[in-house]
Amino acid sequence: MTFKDRINRYLAYNQARKFKALKFNESTAVFFFKVIPYLLHYNTPELPGYIKDGKDESPCGIHLFNPRKAINRDIIQRYFPRFTPKSEPSKTSKTKNTDSAVKPLIHSLSTIGSIGSMAQSAKSDCDYWLLVDFAEIGPRGLELLGRKCQIIENWAEGHGIEIHLFIMDITETRENSFASKAEEESAGSAMKLLLKEEFFRTHILVAGKLPLWWLIPPELNADEYQKYVNELPVRERVNTNNFVDLGYIAEIPKAETFGACLWQMNKALDSPFKSVIKFAYLELILGSKDKNPLISDQLKRLVCFPEMLAPADKPLGLDDIDPYLLLARAIVNFYQTEATNQRRDHLIRASLFLKTIEGMESERRSPRYADHLKTTMRLMADWGLFPEPIRHYQNFRYWRYHDLIKEGRQIHNYLIATYKRLRWYMRAFAREGIGLTITDEDIAVLGRKLFTFHQKKPNKIEYIQSLSREMIEQHDITLHIVRVKGQDIFAAFQGCLDNQSVINNQGALIKRNTHLIALLSQMIINGILTSGTHLYLTKNYLPIDLSDIQALAASIIETFPPFDLSHLSGRKLLETERLIKAMAIINFAKQDIRGGKNIRSTIITLNSYGEYFIHDYETLAQYKQALLVLLTQHEISRWNKNLVVYFPPQKDLHALKAMLEG
């Protein structure tokens, strides 16, 4: 196979990945692959991302990128209606940094992560690596480009699309000294080669130079790799300036993996399925007796070096190669070996299947959904990745709450057990004098984050060890109230039930609580009860009715949007926790306010670690004192727009408000 043949196979594979993203969601794919590179290519006041500071303008321009071919007029007009063809930068313009004739400074633009793979879901954000030469753009250029990227990220967020643009230095990436600049959530020292391996394994080239790594035979050592690169211009008669050399990865030092393991525990708080796969990969790396296997090398063989596949590995069509499935298959094979004696392959299959199907759920109404689902099921069957019993997992949308929690608990238990096994590996390395790359600061950050999720505290609203929020969300919830020994007990059930069917469907029970506000709050912060949930109420004898409960739930949901624990920055976790938002609920039970002193209230608070607390107050004096503490110690008030005060509709509402303000 010639060098050009390998390039063509890579480009065909890259195009197939783009097409998968297009089939998943056409509008977001257009945004990812056409709109974003267009904005990075230009720096003009007529487009988002324009930066000019004095005489200095942001670096821009992507090598080998032709915007006139990459994006048509219809797309330009859709996103930039005020940007007419007349105002589009012309090819002959000599204005600095507004034209493709100006020297481009972005060498390559690629996505990294789940986009265009089986792992893509409706909530998948898009991370990009912008590969530049720091020496070429200088500190000032790096600052301005960073500001440009921030503006583009904010503009994309305004369109409901989450992107992250990471500016990467080619030399630092080649030398594996880039992690702290790549992703704050990686905590720098804990990733390095793992992040680079993930880039090689998952990236899609959006625009610019092709990563040279793809065209270099796998399993070379450092000297062999460099020798091969140096000889390319003569051997293959190619201009290496048309490629970007990010170096190679021979293997991932096992000392790297403990820190990465901790950070996958963090990610598991919001994305347990994804974390199971990544966590298992770390165990595969640590548990391999020989030189650890790189999935990126196997992917490279399938795409560009099929003649180097092992006899047991059959070649695949480029359309059927999926980095996520490739990783899952390697993990399942690892857990099936007698040497590991782990037999955890079922959990991997289940996590892979649920993650994949979960990602496709939001596209059920898409005309491409049926074909996409059929292709996905065929590939998983061909690769031997179906969990058993498959019908049970195919019907996950109809699972009882108990089944959802059971599956979620198994996943979290697996992560904790795997974490303990990995600690054993690390202690063994320490005894052998192998240094670890994770820092004390990393451990402190992770400890606080895991502490947040698992620790029980007085008045804390607990997180549930469940599946993802998307899977645990309920379409219908019925509330049932009973009085036992003078105490009201509130129960939430799956589905739309009446008084009798509640009694006959105890298996549909979600939660019970003597505190209705606490019950609603816990379901909301865990994603069980959302704005899309229909609430029902069986026979009721209290002053409050269904409309009161619905209105309160809507207000809590609006006040406290889902808190993404996995995006909680290390910087915030190294700071002392502080309250950041509160909601006060006054006289929800609609007590008679005559007399005025014993009026009950509840305050829900959220702190900077993502913890929620709930406190009750029996008197107006207690409530006012709590508000004073929120104001003086935490700067929480209606004036600061971080306090919501909620009153249910009731008679004497004006009098009640007057009493509180008095």
Contact 411, 272 (CB under 8 A): yes
- pLDDT tier, 388 (very low <50, low <70, confident <90, very high otherwise): confident
- Cα-to-chain-centroid distance, residue 414: 20
Closest of 320, 301, 319 to residue 311, by C-alpha: 301
Position 134 scores a pLDDT of 95
Question: Is residue 621 over pLDDT 50?
Answer: yes
Max mean pLDDT among 324-338, 426-440, 601-615 falls in 601-615
Q: What single-letter DSSP state applies at residue 1?
A: -
In which band, very low, low, confident or very high, does the pLDDT at 91 lie, cut at 50, 70 and 90? very low
- Please report the pLDDT score of residue 269 as a whole number: 61
Residues 6+ apart with CB under 8 A from 1: 305, 306, 307
Please say if the pLDDT value at position 395 is more than 60: yes
> What pTM value is reported for the model?
0.78
**Position 535 pLDDT exceeds 60:** yes
- Cα–Cα separations (whole angstroms), residue 535 to 467, 476, 486: 22, 6, 25
Q: What is the mean pLDDT of residues 637-649?
A: 93
> What's the CA gap between 319 and 419, in Å, rounded?
35
Res. 447 pLDDT band, cuts 50 70 90: low
Q: Is residue 615 over pLDDT 80? A: yes
Instruction: Compute the distance between CA of residue 527 and CA of residue 465 in angstroms, rounded to an integer.
Output: 12
Among the listed residues 478, 529, 473, 530, the one whose alpha carbon sits nearest the alpha carbon of residue 504: 478
Give residue for tokens 């019970």.
512
Contact 502, 480 (CB under 8 A): yes
Q: Give CA–CA dist 334/349, Å, rounded.
A: 13
Specify the 3-state DSSP secondary structure of 643.
strand
Q: Is the pLDDT of residue 65 over 80?
A: yes
Number of residues that this document lists for the chain: 662
* pLDDT digit string, tens, across residues 195-227: 888 899 999 999 999 999 999 999 888 889 999
* pLDDT value of position 257: 66
- Indicate if the pLDDT at residue 87 is higher than 50: no
Contact (CB, 8 A) for 360 and 377: no
Q: Which of 148-157, 205-214, 312-321 has the lowest mean pLDDT?
A: 312-321
pLDDT band at 270, cuts 50/70/90? low
pLDDT band for position 101 (cuts 50, 70, 90): very low
* pLDDT category of residue 617 using cuts at 50, 70 and 90: very high
Q: What is the mean pLDDT of residues 406-432?
A: 75
pLDDT above 90 as % of the chain: 43
Tell me the C-alpha distance between 260 and 280, whole Å.
12
- 559 or 175, greater pLDDT: 559
Residue 452 predicted with pLDDT over 90 = no
Which helix H or strand E contains 169, and what residues bound it?
Answer: strand 163-169
* Predicted local confidence at residue 86, as pLDDT: 45
Q: Residue range 301-330: average pLDDT? A: 89
Query: Which H/E stretch holds residue 19?
Result: helix 3-24
Residue 579 to residues 352, 636, 650, Cα–Cα distance (Å) = 37, 8, 30
Sign, CA torsion 352/355/361/362: negative
More confident residue, 561 or 411: 561
User: Which residues are CB-contacts of 186 (< 8 A; sequence separation ≥ 6)?
Assistant: 179, 180, 195, 263
Higher pLDDT, 654 or 303: 303
For the chain, the C-alpha Rg in angstroms (whole number) is 28
Whether residue 560 has pLDDT greater than 90: yes
Predicted pLDDT at 371: 73
pLDDT on residue 44: 87
Q: Is it the case that residue 267 has pLDDT exceeding 80?
A: no
Q: How far apart are CA 272 and CA 265, in angstroms?
A: 9
Count other Cβ atoms within 10 Å, centred on residue 633: 10
Q: Where does the pLDDT of residue 341 fall: very low under 50, low under 70, confident under 90, or very high at 90 and above? A: low
Distance CA(6)–CA(214), nearest Å, equals 8
What does the alpha-carbon distance between residue 610 and residue 612 come to, in Å, rounded to a whole number?
7
Question: Are 566 and 270 a contacting pair, CB within 8 Å?
Answer: yes
Has residue 179 got a pLDDT over 70? Answer: no
In this structure, are residues 208 and 63 in contact, taking their beta carbons and an 8 Å threshold? yes
> With 50 as the cut, is the pLDDT of residue 96 above it?
no
pLDDT in tens, 356-375: 777 666 666 666 667 777 77
| Mean pLDDT on 251-274 | 65
Asked whether residue 529 carries a pLDDT value surpassing 70, the answer given is yes
β-pair partners for 584 = 603, 645
Alpha-carbon torsion 96, 98, 104, 109, what sign? positive
Tokens of 355: 């993650």
Segment 490-510, tens digit of pLDDT? 999 999 999 888 888 888 999
Q: What is the pLDDT confidence band of residue 345, given thresholds at 50, 70 and 90?
A: confident
88 has pLDDT over 50:
no
Cα distance between residue 523 and residue 337, in whole Å: 41
Q: Phi, psi at residue 521, to the nearest 5°?
A: -65, -45
Extract long-range pairs of 556-561: CB within 8 Å, 24+ residues apart. Answer: 556/520, 556/521, 556/524, 556/583, 556/604, 557/524, 557/529, 557/530, 557/531, 559/583, 559/604, 559/644, 560/524, 560/525, 560/604, 560/606, 560/612
In this structure, are residues 131 and 168 in contact, taking their beta carbons and an 8 Å threshold? Answer: yes
Averaged confidence pLDDT in the chain: 84
Burial, 501: exposed, middle or buried (Cβ in 10 Å; 0-12, 13-18, 19+)? Answer: middle
Best-predicted range by mean pLDDT among 380-389, 450-459, 527-536?
Answer: 527-536
How is residue 32 annotated by DSSP?
I
- Amino acid 9: pLDDT: 97
Which DSSP symbol is given to 187?
T
Would you state the pLDDT for residue 187?
42
Q: So what's the pLDDT on residue 186?
A: 44
Token pair in block for residue 394:
């195919």
Q: Which amino acid is at 131?
A: L
Report the pLDDT value the prediction gives residue 339, as an integer from 0 to 100.
55
